[in-house]
Structure 1
Amino acid sequence: MSDLMLTDVSRWYGNVVAVNDVNMQIGPGITGLLGPNGAGKSTLLSMMAGLLPPSSGTVTIDGQPTRGNVAIYRRIGLVPVQESLYDFLTGAQFVRLNADLQRVIQPDKATERAIGLVDMAGAASRKISTYSKGMKQRIKVASALVHDPEVLLLDEPFNGMDPIQRRHMMGLLTHFAAQGRTIVFSSHILEEVEQIARQVEVVVAGRHAASGDFAAIRRLMTDRPNQYVVRSSDDRRLATLLVAEPSVRGVRLRGGKALEVEADDFGAFTHAVPKLAQENGIRILELTPTDESLESVFSYLVNS
Structure 2
Amino acid sequence: MTTTSTSATTTAAAAAASLIELRNATRWYGNVVAVNDISMTLGPGVTGLLGPNGAGKSTLLHMMSGFLEPSRGTVTIGGAAPWRNVEVFRTVGLVPERDSVYAFLTAREFVTASAKLHKLPNPRAAAERALDMVELAEAADRPIETYSKGMRQRAKVAAALVHDPRVLLLDEPFNGMDPRQRLHMMDLLSGLGQAGRVILFSSHILEEVERLADTVQVVVAGRLAASGDYRSIRRLMTNRPHVFLVRTTDDRALARALIGTQAVQGVSLTPGGVEVHASDHGSFTRQLAAVSRDAGVGLREVIPADESLESVFAYLVGA
- DSSP-derived class of the 1:58 partner: strand
1:74 matches 2:90: yes
In the alignment, which residue of structure 2 is the partner of 1:54?
A: 70
Please show how residues 1-304 of structure 1 align to structure 2 within 5 Å.
Answer: 1=15, 2-254=18-270, 258-304=273-319
The separation in 2 between residues aligned to 1:84 and 1:151, in whole angstroms, is 19
Distance 2:306 2:130 in 1: 43
Q: Give 1:264 shift.
A: 0.7
The alpha-carbon distance between structure 1 residues 249 and 69, as it changes in their structure 2 partners (threshold 3 A), is same
The SS at the match of 1:65 is: coil
Deviation of residue 285 (structure 1)?
4.5
Cα distance per residue 1:231-267 (max 9 Å; x no partner) = 4455444333322111111223336x64322101112
Deviation at 1:84, TM superposition (A): 4.1
> Structure 1, residues 113-142: CA drift from partner, whole Å, max 9, x if none?
111111111121221111111111111111
Q: CA deviation at 1:222?
A: 1.0
| Residue-pair matches, total | 303
Q: Give 3-state SS (helix, strand or coil) of 1:123's partner.
A: coil
Q: Secondary structure at the match of 2:169?
A: strand
**Deviation, structure 1 residue 104:** 0.9
Greater alpha carbon shift after TM alignment, 24-33 vs 114-123: 114-123
**1:211 deviation in Å?**
1.0
SS at match of 2:288: helix
Q: Aligned partners of 2:293, 2:155: CA distance in 1, in Å?
A: 56
TM-score, normalised by the number of residues in structure 2: 0.90
Distance 1:6 1:32 in 2: 16
Q: CA RMSD in A?
A: 1.6
Distance in 2, matches of 1:273 and 1:176, equals 44
TM-score, normalising length: structure 1: 0.94
Structure 1 portions without partners, runs of 5+: none
- Separation of aligned partners in 1, 2:22 and 2:269: 47
Displacement after TM superposition at 1:273 (Å): 2.5
Amino acid corresponding to residue 187 of structure 1 in structure 2: S
Q: Deviations over 1:53-111 (max 9, x none)?
A: 11111100121111121111110000101124111111111111111111112212111
CA distance 1:247–1:61, shift in 2 (3 Å): same
User: 2: CA distance between counterparts of 1:193 and 1:109?
Assistant: 32
Report the more deviating stretch, 48-57 or 239-248. Answer: 239-248
* Runs of 4+ more than 6 Å apart: none
SS at match of 1:112: helix
1:173-214 CA distance string (max 9 Å, x none): 122112211010111111111112111111112111111222
Percentage identity across paired residues of the two chains: 58
- Cα distance in 1 for residues equivalent to 2:76 and 2:238: 34
Cα 1:228/1:5, change in 2 over 3 Å:
same
> Quick one: distance in 1 between partners of 2:247 and 2:214?
41
Distance in structure 1 (CA, Å) of the matches to 2:253 and 2:88: 66
Partners in 2 of 1:127 and 1:235 — Cα distance?
58
Give the SS at the match of 2:138: helix
Report the 3-state secondary structure (helix = DSSP H, G, I; strand = E; otherwise coil) of the residue aligned with 1:159. coil
Contact 2:257 2:292 in 1 (8 A): no
> Compared with structure 1, are the counterparts of its residues 235 and 162 closer, same or farther at alpha carbon in structure 2 (3 Å cutoff)?
closer
Amino acid at match of 1:297: V
SS of the residue corresponding to residue 64 of structure 1 reads coil
